[in-house]
Amino acid sequence: MSHTTSRRGLLFGTAAVSATALLAGCTSNDSKDEKPAANDQSAADDKPGKHVTIGFAGPQADHGWLNAINDNAKSRAKKYSDVTLEITEGSNDTAAQIGQIETLINKKVDVLVVLPADGKALTQVGLKAMRAGIPVVNLDRIFNSPQAYRCWIGGDNYGMGLNAGTYIGEKLKGKSNAKVVELAGLDNLELTKQRTQGFDDALKNYPNIKKVARQAAEFTVESGQAKMAQLLQAQPKFDALWNHDDDQGVGALRAIEQAGRDDFLMVGGAGALSAFQAIKQDNGVLKATVLYPPTMAASAIDLARALGQSKGIGGLAEFEIPASLTLYSAVVDKDNVDQYMPTGFR
Partner 1 sequence: MTQHASPPRDNTDKVPPVGQPPSWRGLFARADVRTLSLLGVLAALILIGGITKPDEFLDTRNLQLVLTQASVIGVVTVGMTFVITSGGIDLSVGAIVALASVWATTVATQDYGFAGVLFTAVIVGVGCGLVNGLLIAYGGMVPFIATLAMLASARGLALQITDGKTQIVTIGSILDLGERDAYVLGVPPLVIVFAVVTIIGWLILNRTTFGRRTVAVGGNAEAARLAGIDVRRQRLYLYLLSGLCCGIAAFLLIILSGSGQNTNGNLYELDAIAAAIIGGTLLSGGRGTITGSVLGVLIFTTITNIFALNNLQSDVQQIAKGAIIVAAVLVQRRTASST
Judged by CB under 8 A, does residue 91 bind partner 1? no
Question: Per rule CB under 8 A, is residue 222 in the interface with partner 1?
Answer: yes
Residue 25 or 207: the one with the smaller Cβ distance to partner 1 is: 25
Binding residues among 265-304 for partner 1 as defined by CB under 8 A: 272, 274
191 binds partner 1 (CB under 8 A): no
β strands within the chain, DSSP E = 52-57, 83-87, 111-114, 136-139, 151-154, 178-184, 209-216, 240-243, 265-270, 286-291, 324-326, 331-333
Strand pairing of 209-216 and 178-184? parallel
Which residues, numbered 252-271, are part of the site for partner 1 (CB under 8 A)?
Answer: 254, 257-260
When asked if residue 80 is in the footprint of partner 1 (CB under 8 A), the reply is no
What is the CA 41 to chain-centroid distance, rounded? Answer: 20
How far apart are the C-alpha atoms of 116 and 137, rounded to whole Å?
11
Nearest to 180 by CA among 204, 150, 155, 158: 204
Least distance between partner 1 and beta carbon 134 (Å): 28
Among 221, 325, 327, 330, binds partner 1 (CB under 8 A): 221
158-187 residues near partner 1, rule: CB under 8 A: 187
- Minimum distance, C-beta of residue 331 to partner 1, in the bound complex (Å): 22
Residue 72 main-chain phi, psi, to 5 deg: -60, -45
Rounded to the nearest whole angstrom, what is the least distance from the CB of residue 35 to partner 1 in the complex? 13
Q: Does 6 bind partner 1 (CB under 8 A)?
A: no
318 lies in the site for partner 1, by CB under 8 A: no
Nearer to partner 1, 183 or 304 (CB): 183
Helix (H, G, I), strand (E, B) or coil at 234: helix
**Alpha carbon distances (Å) from 158 to 55, 56, 300:** 30, 27, 21
**Closest among 313, 198, 183, 200 to 254, alpha carbons compared:** 183
Alpha helices in 235-295 (DSSP H): 246-259, 273-281
**Site for partner 1 contains 74 (CB under 8 A):** no
Among 17, 234, 316, 323, binds partner 1 (CB under 8 A): 234
In the chain, how long is the greatest CA-to-CA distance? 82
Q: Which residues bind partner 1 (CB under 8 A)?
A: 1, 16, 19-20, 23, 25-31, 60-64, 66-67, 187, 212-216, 218-227, 229-231, 233-234, 236, 247, 250-251, 254, 257-260, 272, 274, 346
